[in-house]
């Protein structure tokens, strides 16, 4: 059964390009990018390589969301859940990297990071690598790509790509506006609402990157620039908030309780600063 929000802009016979036939050309580079990032992690699991793997998997998830109206609901949900789980596997190590980076700088001055936290990061990396290896990610990603491409190519209708792309971008933008209104109207600071804004903004940004060449670039250029600014601010808030939670769950790793308390207090102060910046930016949106 298809989603109720499927596109009804059925293309005339022979009209090109079609959304269905274009999917593989959009998805294949993303799959290749994700696999290249996995290979990089095996060779050198730097913070940047882990971050880029998560980005590649999130972009894949967003592309499958874009094509959701043309796909079977359950078949569409499975790849998106897979990409989320793989991103989470890489993210567990990335979270430790962010925590270490935040603790290493205090008022622009270097500070010592307890060896116990670096050891915890290496343990997380081993777990991430094991998860990605056991997932047989190459076959899994290629299978998802082949399965979705087959379903789209077998569909009895064809949808004009430009109209389909414009509809899906508008749907993502509506979702973003809704989350922005909810966050801006909150009576008190609501981190989850800001996190929802960040996720909705990413979806719009990725769709504009996918479909930009076939849309009116002037109409979306300002939106894309604003989204990048929003994502940077809200991303920094998300990083420090996740670090507070991670450190709170692992204070037992510190040999000195006072050191743990001082590190946690420092991160909470960083979080308050980021919260103020995020709220100011939100009110300007």
What residues does each domain of the chain span?
16-159, 160-285
Tokens 């692992």 belong to 250
Q: What stretch of H or E contains 120?
A: helix 115-134
Report residue 147 as tokens: 């399965």
Among 96, 85, 89, 86, residue whose Cα is nearest residue 47: 96
Among 84, 98, 89, residue whose Cα is nearest residue 127: 89
CATH number for the domain whose boundaries are 16-159:
1.20.120
Give yes or no for residue 15 having a pLDDT over 80. no
Read off the pTM: 0.84
Among 86, 101, 84, residue whose Cα is nearest residue 38: 86
- What's the CA gap between 230 and 201, in Å, rounded? 8
Q: How many CB atoms lie within 10 A of CB 113?
A: 16
Among 15-29, 76-90, 210-224, name the one with the lowest average pLDDT. 210-224
- Beta-bridged to residue 18, according to DSSP, are 160
Among 76-80, 130-134, 161-165, 168-172, name the one with the lowest average pLDDT. 130-134
Is-contact 34 49, C-beta < 8 A? no
pLDDT at 46: 79
- What's the CA gap between 75 and 11, in Å, rounded? 24
| Helical spans, DSSP H, in 8-72 | 19-43, 47-66
The pLDDT tens digits of the residues spanning 99-136 come to 999 988 765 555 678 888 999 999 998 888 888 778 78
| DSSP-derived 3-state class of residue 231 | helix
- What's the CA gap between 175 and 13, in Å, rounded? 32
Query: What is the CATH superfamily name and number for domain 160-285?
Result: CHAD domain (1.40.20.10)
CA distances from 144 to 99, 149, 167, 196 (A): 33, 8, 24, 27
- What's the CA gap between 30 and 78, in Å, rounded? 17
């Amino acid at each position: 059964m298809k989603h109720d929000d499927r596109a009804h802009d059925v293309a005339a016979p022979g009209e090109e390009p079609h959304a269905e036939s274009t999917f593989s050309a959009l998805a294949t580079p993303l799959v290749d990018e994700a696999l290249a990032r996995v290979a990089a992690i095996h060779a050198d699991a730097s913070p940047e390589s882990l971050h880029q793997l998560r980005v590649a998997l999130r972009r894949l998830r967003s592309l499958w969301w874009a094509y959701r109206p043309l796909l079977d609901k359950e078949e569409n949900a499975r790849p998106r859940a897979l990409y989320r789980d793989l991103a989470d596997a890489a993210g567990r190590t990335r979270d430790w990297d962010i925590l270490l980076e935040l603790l290493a700088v205090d008022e622009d001055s270097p500070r010592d990071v307890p060896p116990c936290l670096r050891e915890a990061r290496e343990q997380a990396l081993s777990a991430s690598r094991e998860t990605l290896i056991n997932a047989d990610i190459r076959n899994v990603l290629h299978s998802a790509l082949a399965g979705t491409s087959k379903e789209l190519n077998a569909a009895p209708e064809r949808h004009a790509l430009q109209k389909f792309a414009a509809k899906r971008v508008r749907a993502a933008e509506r979702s973003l506006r809704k989350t922005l209104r909810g966050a801006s109207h909150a009576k008190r600071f609501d981190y989850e609402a800001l996190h929802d804004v960040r996720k909705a903004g990413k979806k719009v940004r990725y769709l504009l990157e996918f479909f930009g060449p076939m849309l009116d670039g002037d109409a979306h250029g300002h939106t894309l620039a604003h989204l990048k600014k929003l994502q940077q601010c809200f991303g920094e808030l998300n990083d420090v908030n996740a670090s507070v939670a991670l450190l709170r769950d692992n204070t037992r790793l510190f040999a000195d309780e006072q050191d743990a308390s001082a590190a946690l207090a420092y991160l909470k102060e960083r979080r308050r600063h980021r919260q103020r910046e995020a709220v100011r930016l939100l009110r300007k949106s």
